Amino acid sequence: MDQMNGRVLLVTGGGRGIGAATARLAAQQGWAVAVNYAANSLAADEVVRAIRAGGGRAMSVQADVADEAQVLAMFARIDAQFGRLGGLVNNAGVVDVSARVDEMSMARWRRMFDINVIGSMLCAREAVRRMSTRHGGEGGAIVNLSSAASRLGSPGQYVDYAAAKGAIDAFTIGLAKEVAAEGIRVNAVRPGLIETDIHASGGLPDRVRDLQHLVPMQRGGQADEVAQAIVWLLSDAASYTTMSLLDVSGGR
């Protein structure tokens, strides 16, 4: 059995897509999972029900990760119900409608960076305060969700999203070095074209089908395939892996 069994994991944006797949798989491997959601309580509760039905431990917890007060309240709830955190998956994120940079608004950029970057940093800060041996913790693992967009730039569609994910890459590298001697490993997964509903939320529901010819493997990926990489990085099987940016992109 993995030594991580019984440890507590927070998955932000855990109600759907890659977050939901990660929460379910982590629970199967023995993690007690806190499933965060911003607004869709029904989706998060369904993930929790599925985990419990399989004999796992799970709770749903609401917080907009861009709101510091809500993040602090979320971590306090997890502390009270599950105990000390051992893992964090910074999965919560947003896109916006396809646009060029010269068509984008300041409000769009604020939202993009508040949720995708500052939200991840806020959650990582609170996780480090609980996991770090410097703070009396027992170590742990953080996995940030980046994107192949950080390498590709997403011109004509989501340059701001790509820039936010580039910030996540840099944050992952810096934080990994900062806490490596304190028992915390920090890595990022960079998914490519994955079949989730985030594309529809950006107004391009057929984006994976339309672009899969650009992928060397000639298909889009599935959320479960990304979850496998994330849960491996959380596990003791990745005990000497930190500061890594792992592409799960079919070769693109």
Question: What pLDDT was estimated at residue 205?
Answer: 72
Query: Structure pTM?
Result: 0.94
Q: Do the domain assignments include residue 104?
A: yes
pLDDT in single tens digits along all 252 residues of the chain = 334 456 999 999 999 999 999 999 999 999 999 999 999 999 999 999 999 999 999 999 999 999 999 999 999 999 999 999 999 999 999 999 999 999 999 999 999 999 999 999 999 999 999 999 999 999 999 999 999 999 999 999 999 999 999 999 999 999 999 999 999 999 999 999 998 766 566 666 777 888 889 888 899 999 999 999 999 999 999 999 999 999 999 999
Query: Active site includes 37?
Result: no
The gap from C-alpha 2 to its chain's centroid, in whole angstroms, comes to 21
Does 35 fall in a domain?
yes
pLDDT for position 1: 31
Q: Strand, helix or coil at 186?
A: strand
Q: Where are the alpha helices (DSSP H) in the chain?
A: 17-28, 41-53, 68-82, 106-113, 119-131, 149-152, 159-179, 198-201, 207-211, 223-234
**Catalytic, out of 37, 158, 161, 240:** 161
Q: Is residue 1 part of a domain?
A: no
Q: What is the pLDDT of residue 200?
A: 62
pLDDT of residue 207: 79
Q: What angle do CA 58, 60, 65 make, to 5 degrees?
A: 125
Q: 63 in a domain, yes or no?
A: yes
Q: Is 117 left (phi over 0), alpha (psi -120 to 50) or beta?
A: alpha
Question: By residue range, what is the domain housing residue 80?
Answer: 8-248
Other beta carbons within 10 Å of 1:
7
pLDDT of residue 212: 86
What CATH number corresponds to the domain at position 90?
A: 3.40.50.720
In a domain, 3, yes or no: no
Q: Is residue 45 part of a domain?
A: yes
Q: How many domains does the chain have?
A: 1
Return the pLDDT at 196: 79
The one-letter amino acid code at 204 reads L
